[in-house]
Amino acid sequence: MRIVVLDGYCLNPGDLSWSGLERLGEVTVYDRTPESLLLERARGAEALLTNKTPLGRETLAALPELRYVGVLATGYNVVDAAAARERGIVVTNVPAYGTASVAQLTIALLLELCHQVGVHAAAVRTGEWAASQDWSFWKTPQVELAGKTFGCIGLGRIGGQTARIAEALGMRVVVHSRSQGISLEALLEQSDVVSLHCPLFPETRELLGASQFQRMKPSAFLLNTSRGPLVVEKDLADALNAGVLAGAGVDVLSVEPPVAGSPLFTARNCIVTPHIAWATREARARLMEIATNNVAAFAAGASENVVN
């Protein structure tokens, strides 16, 4: 079986091995594939693995040998799954590989908003503590989480794990999801921290904008480690700059890599990290293992994690 990995660098920048995949066939790995080279590189492959390289209807139609697409992620919107199904192409994804890592980064963003550890460590290095008249000084308000309310929007694997950590910190957890919990409006009004853990569907796109931020407490923090388009970024920046919200921590943006001049880059008390929640070596190793097992199962005629 000829297997082509279209954009393998983010999964494996050199600290993992493709050897498991190589045991299943002839493997060609590209770090990145621009649109201009997509058909040239994919032509003749029976199996394509993609992370963010789009495979639309026209592209799939131009690849008659293609029988399998493995998405190197949980979300699979980069592939026209319906068009693939029409052509008898199996599409799989990799669920549940990054639950612990994404939950951990979510809480890391929250703790950074509470304590601004980086700001204070830098102040020590530049001599501000040494020059202080007091034995202790702080540049930002310090926030204790115990007793506060953590609002979790979406309660899948990652949302559930994050909620459990919040509870371990002494927080009261409230939930809004399609199947359980309180209304979105009630969650926004009650919560000291609002954390997004829902998938991106047409009905959740721009779920939070200006009117929703107005419902939140002015002391509240917003966290987004799920999908960038869940939030109207300009509205979030405006809310932060106007003091409608106290702070935000986001690991995802609506366009990645971001366009220059994103309003969140200069928003008050907004921490933006470059989509790293999934990127621990442990999580990427699990992703590699599951993706390889998906290909092996397809080759054996017993496909796993099929999404179409």
The catalytic residues are: 227, 256, 275
DSSP per-residue codes, 103-148: HHHHHHHHHHHHH-HHHHHHHHHTTTTTT-SSS---SS-----TT-
How do strand 193-196 and strand 68-71 relate by DSSP bridges? unpaired
In angstroms, the Cα distances linking 235 to 185, 190, 199, 225, 264 are 17, 20, 20, 18, 10
Contacts of 64 (CB under 8 A, 6+ apart): none
CA nearest to 181, candidates 194, 170, 169, 200 = 194
In the chain, what's the furthest Cα-to-Cα distance?
A: 74
The SS3 of residue 304 is coil
- CB neighbour class for 245 (10 Å; exposed up to 12, middle 13-18, buried from 19): buried
CA nearest to 54, candidates 76, 85, 73 = 76
Give the total residue count for the chain.
Answer: 308
In angstroms, the Cα distances linking 173 to 90, 142, 166, 290 are 39, 21, 7, 32
Rounded to the nearest 10 degrees, how much is the dihedral formed by the CA atoms of 191, 195, 201, 205?
A: 70
**DSSP code at position 77:** T
Please, what is the Cα angle at 277 between 261 and 20, to 5 degrees? 120
